[in-house]
Amino acid sequence: MKIHRKTKTLNLFLVLLSLVIANFSSCSKKEKVDDFSELSKSDSSGKINNATSELASQVIKSIPPPVEMESMILSSGAPYDLTILNGVAEAEKYSTNYHKAINLGIYGADLAYINIYNRKEDALSYLNTVIKLSEDLKVGQFFDFETIKRIADNNKNLDSMLNITTSNFEKMNNYLQDQNRSNLSMYMLTGGWVEALYVACKVGLDKKNQPLYEKIAEQKIVLDQILLLLSCYKNDPNAMTLHNDLNELKETFNKIKIETVYAEPTMVEENGQLVVKDNSKTIIVAPEDVIMEIFTSITNTRKKIIG
Amino acid sequence: MKSVTIVFVTLFLASFNAFSQCNTDPMVQKCSGKLGDFTFLKVYKIDKAKIGESVEFSYVFSGNTSYMLSLCDDKGTDMGVEVSLFDSNRKLVSTNKLNGKVYAAITYNCKSTGIYYMTYSMADVNCGVSVLGFKK
C-alpha cells in the first residue's frame, strides 16, 4: 500500500514536471517549432563554427537592407516599373533551399521597391510569394498576410507596411542566426543586395541620374562586407560561387574612387534631441561607363540567381 | 511530501529563469516608435553586455543621409544604454551623453560614406535595444 502511494506520488511528480518543462520551453520559443531535419540535411555544407558564426552575425548586422538603396530610386523621379523586378510566377521553379533563400532576398528587395512606390495590389502579390518561400524555409511565422493586409488597407500610404516588412525580414534573419542556419540569412542578404543594385543600376542608367550613380558607387563598401560574409562559408559551394561572381564585380568597383575629407563633427540639441552634424565630406568619382560595367556584371549574377 | 517540495522548487527555478531572460520585443516596439519619420533599418540587441563591458556593431552609413539611433532599456527609462559612434577611422563621432545629459536617441546627419561602429554599454539596466532608422 505504501509502495503504491509512493509510485502514485512519483507519477504525479513526473506529470507535473513534464508539464512545467513543456510550458516553459514553449514560452521561451514563441515561434513555431518545426522539423528542421530536412533543412539541416541540405544545409549541412553551410554550417560554420561558433567563432565564424559570430563574425558572420556581426557582418550581417553591418549590411544595409535594400530599402536604403531603393529609396533613392523614387527620389530620382523614375516612374514605377514592375517589369524590371523578378516575376512572382518564377517562384514556382525554385526547389532547393539555396534558390528559395536567395530568391526570398530578391523578392524582399522587390517588395521594398513596390512599397516605396505605394502599389498596394502588387505589394500583396509579392508578399504572398515572400510568405510562400519563407514557409518553405520554415520561417513563415514572421509574415502574417492578413495582419499586413489589414495594415495596408487602413493606411493611405504604405510607409507602415514598408517598416513592417523590413522589420519582419530583420526578425527572420535574427531567428535564422539563433537557429544556426545563418547560411540562409547570408543567401537572403546577398539576394536582396544583388536585386537592389540591379534595379538601382537599371533606373540610374535610364535616367542618367548622378545621385544614383553615387549611391551605386558607395556599394563598393557594402560589397566588401558581403565578400567577407561569403568567405565565412568556405565549405558551401553556393556561397563560393557567389563569392567568385562578386569578386569579379569587385574588380569593376575598384575603378570607383571614394575619398573623405575629414572635419570635426558638431553636436547640437534640437527640440530636446541630440543632433550630430557630420562636417566631413565624401568625394565620389563614379563615371557612367563604370556604372554600365557594374550593371552588366550584376545582371549576369542576377540571371544565375533567378534562373 | 518530498516530491511535492521538489515540484515547487522546480516550478520556482523555472519561473525565475523565465523572468531573468530579457524580453526585447516590447523594447524593439517602443524604440521603433521613436523613429518618427525615419524608416526602420536594423535592431541591435544589447543583452550580452554586462556592467563594465561593451558590445560593438557596425553599419555602412551613406553620405547625405540622416540616421537615427534610438535607445531603449528594460527599466523603461531609456537612459540606461550608452552608445558611442565611431567613424571608419575609429574616430569618435559622438556619444549620447553630452554635457552631463543622457539622450535616448542620436540623430546623425551623415555626409561621409563608410563603415561606422556603434559601441554600446549599459548602466543599471539588465538589457536594452537600439533601433536604427534612416531618412533621405
pLDDT digits (tens, 9 = 90+) for A106-132: 999 999 999 999 898 999 999 999 999
Q: What is the pLDDT of residues A202-226, one digit of tens each?
A: 999 999 999 999 999 999 999 999 9
Q: Which A residues, 264 through 293, put their C-beta within 8 Å of a C-beta on chain B?
A: 265, 267, 269-270, 273-282, 284
Q: Contact at 8 Å (CB) between B46 and B130?
A: yes
Query: Of the given ranges (A60-74, A137-151, A220-234, B96-110), which has the lowest mean pLDDT?
Result: A137-151
Cell numbers linked to A79: 516612374
Q: What is the pLDDT of residues A5-16, one digit of tens each?
A: 555 555 555 544
Residue B72's alpha-carbon distances to A174, A306, B36, B106, B120, in angstroms, are 19, 40, 15, 12, 12
Instruction: Let me know how many helices (H) and strands (E) chain B has, helices first.
Output: 2, 10
Closest CA to B75 of B124, B108, B41, B30: B124
Residue A26 pLDDT: 34
Q: Assess if residue B9 is contained within a domain.
A: no
Cell numbers linked to A32: 513555431
Q: Assess if residue B86 is contained within a domain.
A: yes
Domain count for chain B: 1
Percent of chain B past pLDDT 90, that is, above it, reads 67
Q: Assess if residue B16 is contained within a domain.
A: no
Q: In terms of residue numbers, what domain contains B51? A: 23-135
Q: Is the pLDDT confidence value at A298 over 80?
A: yes
Domain range annotation of chain A: 34-255+289-306
Average pLDDT over residues A52-80: 93
**Domain of B59: which CATH number?**
2.60.120.380
Q: Which residue has the higher pLDDT, A253 or B9?
A: A253
Q: Tell me which chain A residues have a C-beta less than 8 angstroms from the C-beta of B110.
A: 278
Half-sphere exposure at residue A294, Cβ-oriented, CA atoms within 13 angstroms: 32
pLDDT grade, residue A151 (50/70/90)? Answer: confident
Closest CA to A63 of A196, A254, A257, A252: A196
Residue B16 pLDDT: 41
Q: What is the pLDDT of residues B86-103, one digit of tens each?
A: 999 999 999 999 888 999
CA distance A42 to chain B (A): 29
Q: Assess if residue B89 is contained within a domain.
A: yes
From B10, B107, B136, residue closest to A275, measured CB to CB: B107
Q: What is the pLDDT of residues A231-252, one digit of tens each?
A: 999 999 999 999 999 999 999 9
